[in-house]
Every structure is written in structure tokens, then in C-alpha cells.
Structure 1
Amino acid sequence: MSAQDAVAALKRLGLPNYEARVFVALQELGAGTAQAVSDRSDVPRSQVYGAADELAERGLVEVVESSPKEYRPVDLATARDLLTERLDRERSRAFENLEAIQATGSDHSKGQDVSTLRGRQPIDDRIVSLVEDADAFVVLVAPEGDSLSERVTASLRDAAARGRRVTVLTADRSVNDRFADDPVQVVVMSEDNPADFAGRALMVDDSTVLLAVETDDDPLGEEAMWTADSRIGGILAQFMQSGMDSGTDHEDAGE
């Protein structure tokens, strides 16, 4: 990693630009005067003093009372702990503030619109939320066992325990074992089933649908669209039901 990369990483951890550059320069120097730090970091000397004093306030730098004054970085392990603690505090404070101002009126996560999501965890969160809202039935298309996280699996079990009709369609026979002790119907489709799996899909009741596909060029790995209690959800649900009926009929005919 270059000094520039180290500066960028420290900025992502919350250090301002000059402080990050001064801290990296001190790591390279071991200790140094404002002039030496300025020469190494390209931070104007007049700005080094303020940045170094801020770093000292954070506990990341020692001030050597010499003439001229010198600065020395603390041990890297100590710096790591201090920055991690600071990041945790800021993260907690940020989300406490967000929770305080979060809309408490109508639930804007549900409605007639179509929304998109990126990333396995946010998509799992949405699947769990939609399953929890089921009134009658849930159908989840999970091509492989890895398609079912522990949270999604638990939400399906809970829905079945509440009397909802829960069906999982998969090409992975191991999914059967996962629900062996639960009132969840698992339909294992054969590899030659014409209803090929493009990704995960969820249908809840008659008008809530989520469709997800893996994206190799996306670092988050998966992208999804979903709609709840909407006309387009009803249309998509009919298409899903038709495809599933065709697939299961094909399975029955092959038996």
C-alpha cells in the first residue's frame, strides 16, 4: 500500500485530509518537526501545527517539547484501537440520530410502488419483512441451499408456525433436510425442468413479489426489485404462479 492509499483509508475512517496526511508522514519519519512533516506530506507547514495538535487531541500523536517542537506517532496498535472506538461511537451516534428523526407515520416501506435493492443482506432483510407480513401463503424460489440465509429460513419457519402456507421451490435436495421438522413444503425441481432458475423469487399472497438475480459485475453480488400489494405485483404473481404450475406439472409427468 502506498502513502496515498494509507491517507485515503484514514480519511474513510474519519480523519480530515491534513490530519491523515500528517499522520502517514509521521509513520514514515518516526518523528519529525513541522517542517520535516511538511516536506514529507506536502501539507503547508502552517497547517501542520493545527493538524498535529488535533491528532494529539485524538491521542494519535505525542508532542515532544523540544526546540523546535517535534511530533511522534503513537504505536500503531494503539492508533488502530482509538480509531476503531471513534468510528464505533460515530456510527452509534449517527444511527441514534437517524432513529430519532425517522418517520413514524405511515410505513413508507410498503405500498403501490416498485423498488430496487442491491446487496444480499438488504435483500434478505426485505424478504424477511415481506414474509412476516404474509396473510395466507408464501412461495420462495431458492435455487440452492446458499440462497437461504439463517434469517430467511427462520422467517419461513415462523410463517408456517403461524398457519401460513409456505412453499420452497429449489433445485437443491439438501433444502429438504433443512425443513424436515417444519410444516414447510419443499418442492425439489429436477435439472431438466424447463422453468430454469434465473435467481431468487418470492411471492406473498396474491400481489407481493420480489425478484432477485445475481450480478457478477456488481461487488454487492445481487440485485432485486420488489413490489407489495400493487397491481403490478398481482400481474407478476400470476406469471410466477403460471410458471410454477407448469414446472410442477412437468415434474409430476416425469414421475
Structure 2
Amino acid sequence: MAVDEDDAIESLERLGLTSYEGKVFVALHKLGTGTARDVSRVTDVPRSQVYSVTESLEDRGLVEVQQSSPIQYRAVSIDEARSTLRERFEQESDRAFDYVETVHEEFGPDQEEEQEDIWMVRGQDRIADRAADLIRRAENSVLFAARSPELVGEDIDTALRERAEDGLAVVVFSEDPAVRALYDDHDEVRAVEPATDHHVNDEHTGRALLGDDDILLLSVLGNDEELPGINRETAFWSARTGFAEVLVQLVETTISPVDR
């Protein structure tokens, strides 16, 4: 995907820089070394603002200043800037989520109270993330069914392999030989074909996940000529609830040809 200067500056803003800081940082990488006049000439940042912006960038560890007459500025290397911004992002993330965790523990709902929740999630990537998370929550067994290799994906594949290596009973269930072939190199993951009486010929069927006796995810594919069905995937899931326990029992009788 091609990225232009505006895209890059917007990304720098999302990493915590102001618009002017992003523009000056990029400009200094164009110039190598430059004065406030030079920077102002290649950006829409007023010369009077360049001084305060470069001072802020220096404080962030992204710009070096040479006390000459006139003052010269240069941006630190790409690798150094990347490391600095990543470290700052991680620090701010830790601070934020440490506080959220504290608030949750102090004021959140009683963790012992059972919540009978069924959740919806849309989009292939988000569903894959949720499925991989649910696989990692399982403690005893996992059954995963998919109609095509695209509905397995890297994250789910990794999670299935990890849980199998942890000693869980992991079964991958598909009518597509290409899905089952993904696990030809992994003895711990059982890849099986459905029995004839379990055959479901439905273009809307997406993927299914059963974990232990009370984790469930089921998805369906949309039908839109302008978008591939896989990009219009919708799923519902539930975990550690009475709803999930009942639904797992119902779904097992339909999609599971093997004992887990």
C-alpha cells in the first residue's frame, strides 16, 4: 500500500506528535540539516513556530540542535526515532492500562457473578482475533471447523498448534482437503473430514469453534456481489456461560463427527 506524506504525518500524529511536529520531522529528513528558515520553506509551518516545534521535538528525542548562528537542526536517524516512539508508546500504554486494570479490580462487576452474554463481532480479521483468543482460553479440548483455508488464517493456526502442544485435544474439522492438509505436519492436531450424514452444503457457512463444554463461536458469510463473502463475515460467540454450554451441546450433534 502506497503511503504519501500526508498519510505519514497522520500516522505520526496517532503516535503522539502534533501536526506541526510531524511536518517538521519529515522536513528535516528531507533537508538533512536545516535552519528554521529552511524548514519553513519546505513546509507550511510558520518560521515563528518552527523554533517551539523543534524544541518540543528535541525534548522528545527526535531532533538534535546545533547552537550555531543561525541555529541548525537535524532529525535523529529513522531507527532511533522508531525506537524512541515505540518506547514512548509502550510507556503510555502501560500507564493507561495499569490504571484501567486498577479501576476494573476496584469498581468492576463481581467476577464470580455469571454473565449470560452472547456477543456479536463482524469482519474477518476481528473474528479471527476473537477465535484465536477463545482457543487460548480453552483448558481441555478445542474443535475448530472452517470451510476454507482463508478462514483458518495465521492467528488461529498458531493458537490451535500451541494448544495441541499444551496437551489439549484439538480437532480441525473441514470438508475442504486444503484445510485438513494444513495439519499434515502436526501429529497433535487431528484434521478430520465430516461423515456423509454431517454434510452441509451452504455457501453462507463460515467457521465454528467449540472449546471445552462452554465456549462457542459460529460465523456466517455475507452475500454481496461487490464484496467477497469472507469480507462480510459475521459471528456470535459466548464463553463460560449457560448459553454457551447449551449451544455447544446442540452444535456438537451437528458438526462434530468425533469424540473430543
Alignment of 1:1-255 (within 5 A): 1-103=3-105, 105-107=109-111, 111-117=115-121, 118-129=126-137, 131-132=138-139, 139-143=143-147, 147=152, 149-155=157-163, 158-160=167-169, 168-171=172-175, 172=177, 173-174=180-181, 180=187, 187-189=192-194, 194-196=199-201, 198-204=205-211, 208-213=215-220, 223-228=234-239, 229-231=241-243, 234=246, 237-238=249-250, 240-244=251-255
Q: Distance in 1 between matches of 2:21 and 2:9?
A: 9
Residues 152, 223 of structure 1: CA spacing in aligned structure 2 closer, same or farther, 3 A cutoff?
Answer: farther
Q: 1:202, CA displacement in angstroms?
A: 2.3
Structure 1 pair 99–200 and aligned structure 2 pair: CA distance change class (3 A): same
Larger mean CA deviation between 191-200 and 58-67 belongs to 191-200
Contact 1:119/1:221 (<8 A) preserved:
no
Contiguous gaps of at least 5 residues in structure 1? 161-165, 249-255
Indicate conservation of the 8 Å contact 1:13/1:83, yes or no. yes
Cα 1:175/1:55, change in 2 over 3 Å: closer
Measured in 1, the distance between the counterparts of 2:172 and 2:113 equals 25
1:115 is displaced (CA, Å) by: 0.8
Q: What TM-score do the two structures reach when normalised by structure 1? A: 0.69
Aligned length: 235
TM norm structure 2: 0.68
TM superposition shift of 1:195: 1.2
Give the whole-Å Cα distance in 1 for the aligned partners of 2:230 and 2:5: 25
Give CA-to-partner distance per residue, 1:48-101, whole Å, 9 cap, x none: 211100111222212222333232222333323322333333333333333333
Gap change, CA 1:175 and 1:48, over 3 Å in 2? closer
Shift of 1:225: 1.4
CA distance in 2, matches of 1:75, 1:55: 13
**Deviations for 1:188-207, whole angstroms, at most 9, x for unmatched residues?**
12799631472221235766
